[in-house]
Amino acid sequence: MRGTLPYALAVWLFAVGLYGVVTSRNFVHMIMCLSIVQAATYVLILQVGYVRGATAPIFFDVPVGTPAVDPVVQSLVLTDVVVGVVVGALLLSLALQAHKRTGTLDPNDLRTLVG
Amino acid sequence: MSPRVRLGMFVVGGIGLVAILLWGVGGLPRFGSAESRYATYLNTHAVHQRHATNVVSAVVFDYRGFDTLGEEFILFAAVMGVTLLLRSQREEHDDSPRDRAEARRTADTSDAVRVGTLALIGPVWLLGLYVVAHGQLTPGGGFQGGVVLAAAPLLLFLAGRYLLVRNVHPMHALDLAEGTGAGGFTVIALLGAVIGAAVMANFIGKGQVASVFSGGTLPVFNLLVGLEVVAGVTLVLYEFMEQTLFVRGD
């Protein structure tokens, strides 16, 4: 159990974020919750590459051969974070336009589609 | 569907999802004992092969550079999406922030905030350039440094100098910078196929390990990505500022 317990953090973040998305009454809040769901993936990906007692995979001041964590998962997360930010901006601009059209940010009030 | 029914459905589905996820992570290697042959190979050979001490950078812009090329265009498309969604609509018009938006009027920026933010712009820019330029050596690179650099225009807006920025019409320059970043990345990637062995091949002399000019194409890619990120994030900030301060419906 001890060996897999940290992974439960990612599962918990994912579930909490989804709960927020489902029960959200405001688009801005919903976008925040979506970014928490995304944060769960960062946590899980980084955890998969973690090696106990190892250093970062940067050999500027430590010699090559020092135990280091997985650099591949770190580079996955690196690009993900930046893309996550701009996709968040894209969603926020959608929310802004929805508010302009309908005067509300509550998803429950947008049930009927207006052509 | 009423919120109550939806919540009920979510609870049932959520419990199932969490159970499956927990079952899934239970099958992962014990936390802290990851053993990946690819990771071990990269950690032992990247410095020698690419003359880059930051192996993460070497993976992003070289070993798995093709993936980053795709990410670049997600970034590009998202920023274009924001500008497209926030363009002026037919029934909207520009207006001075002072005359109509009485309800939104706030106190002027205090001198302390103004001086503080303006004084920070220089150091923030320097830090950003440092982070971009040392991407192949120490933690950092184009993505991270680009975001730091984009904090400078945000500070300028915070200082209440938005009108000053608006008067120089930065849109075209920002569009050009973003396009240069994304286009330049593609050109260098394709040059790898022409000069080197394959797309994204590292075809520039790799230089002395642990010096600023090392890693071959890595610093070039970092620079171009930095340019694209700083232009893209600034463009997004600019569009939102524009919406808040100027665009008015009738």
- Domain layout of chain B by residue ranges: 54-248
Within 41-70 of A, beta carbons closer than 8 Å to B belong to 44, 47-53, 56-60, 64-65, 68-70
Give residue-wise pLDDT tens across range A49-67. Answer: 999 888 899 998 889 888 9
Contacts of B18 in chain A (CB under 8 A): 11, 15
**Residue A2 pLDDT:** 65
Looking at B86-160, list the stretches that DSSP marks H as alpha helix, in order from N- to C-terminal side: 111-133, 142-158
C-beta atoms of A75 and B46 within 8 A: no
Q: Token match 């680009």: residue?
A: B146
Consecutive sets of 10 residues in chain B, 250 residues long: mean pLDDT of each?
85 94 89 86 90 92 90 91 83 60 66 92 95 92 92 89 83 91 93 85 84 88 94 91 74
**Residue A79 pLDDT:** 82
**Residue A34 pLDDT:** 94
Answer whether B156's CB lies under 8 Å from B119's CB: no
Is the pLDDT assigned to residue A1 strictly greater than 60?
A: no
**Residue A94 pLDDT:** 92
The pLDDT-based confidence of A43 (bands split at 50, 70, 90) is very high
Contacts of B30 in chain A (CB under 8 A): 3-4
**Residue A4 pLDDT:** 83
Give residue-wise pLDDT tens across range A98-109. Answer: 888 888 888 888
Within 185-244 of B, beta carbons closer than 8 Å to A belong to 210, 229, 232-233, 236, 239-240, 243
Query: Contacts by B183-190 with C-beta closer than 8 Å and gap 24+?
Result: B184/B224, B184/B227, B185/B69, B185/B72, B185/B221, B185/B224, B185/B225, B185/B228, B186/B69, B186/B72, B188/B217, B188/B220, B188/B221, B188/B224, B189/B65, B189/B66, B189/B69
**Residue A46 pLDDT:** 92
**Residue B155 pLDDT:** 92
